Structure 1
């Protein structure tokens, strides 16, 4: 079994990784750890009440991607993920997690879910919900056990 664990440098994603290892590690599952750096889209106001969304061109230096992979590998090791394959990508987190699952032919995606208010979800949509809707394989959503921390 191949398992994709989405990690984003938060306590919730570390808990999701630990849960995946606890449930699936003893069965000899292979782990792919994916981190998606979201491309910021600036909002430029042109007149009161109106605005323009300007596309942003982002160039990633190979060295920074290597550094990110090293940090992610350390986090995966701290979470107890055995011999994880590491992948760092840039784009929309929900889409990129689903795309990585397709590319690597994974059997299960594991994501954490942050406990946020309806207003916060309106401003920043839930990655776990986007993965649930967009994935062609089963998704395990691990809730944030300490939402007020």
Structure 2
């Protein structure tokens, strides 16, 4: 039985910690015969944020958000040589879209940032928790957002 990873999905939120999450995946890919890396950001549909009760067409705003997310994702991925065809911006709920992408593209490792929430914040859930609980492959949660991490 082989434990080599062939396709790694890095899920990012496009904050300043996104590079840290990607940088944790890169050496894993190198150690696994240069495994393919895909990087993904998920935009929640504007209709979800406003309950779908807005009497206007949000398509152009959603398109602008999509374009901005693609530009930001490229800023994170391009310096590390991640080809544009492996950079994905999708619309939907983050944990569901990460699971869908992983299943459709044969991902065997998901790398996601985690803020290490506890107590009440943990009860409310997080993307990393949702990814972990529904994943059909290994998940690496990279601790982000702490003072000691942000000083590096």
Normalised to the residue count of structure 2, the TM-score between the two structures is 0.74
Is 1:21–1:81's contact at 8 Å kept on the other side of the alignment? Answer: no
Is contact 2:38-2:82 (8 Å) kept?
no
Runs (5+) with no aligned partner, structure 1: 44-53
What is the match of residue 139 of structure 2?
Answer: 139
Contact kept, 8 Å, 1:31 with 1:83, in 2: the verdict is no
What is the CA deviation profile of residues 16-65 of structure 1, one whole-angstrom value per residue up to 9, with x for unaligned ones?
A: 1100002223531111111001235458xxxxxxxxxx33675332x653
Q: Greater share of strand residues, 1 or 2?
A: 1
Shift in CA distance, 81/98, structure 1 to aligned 2, threshold 3 Å: farther
After the TM superposition, which residues 15-54 of structure 1 pair with which residues of structure 2 at under 5 Å, given as runs? 15-26=20-31, 27-39=33-45, 41-42=48-49, 54=51
**Residue in structure 1 matched with residue 130 of structure 2 by the alignment:** 130
Report what 2:102 is aligned to.
101
What are structure 2's unaligned runs of at least 5 residues?
Answer: 1-5
Distance 1:56 1:7, change over 3 A: farther
- Tell me, yes or no, if the aligned pair for 1:5 and 1:16 is still in contact at 8 Å: yes
Aligned match of 2:83: 83
Map of 1:6 onto structure 2: 11
Instruction: Measure the CA separation in 2 of the matches of 1:66 and 1:42.
Output: 19
Classify 1:56/1:129 alpha carbon distance in 2 versus 1 (closer, same or farther; 3 Å).
farther
Would you tell me which structure has more helix in proportion to its own residues? 2
Taking structure 1 as the reference length, what is the TM-score of the superposition?
A: 0.75
Q: Are the aligned partners of 2:29 and 2:37 in contact in 1 as well (CA < 8 Å)?
A: no
Q: Work out whether residues 6 and 109 of structure 1, in 8 Å CA contact, stay in contact via their aligned partners in 2.
A: yes
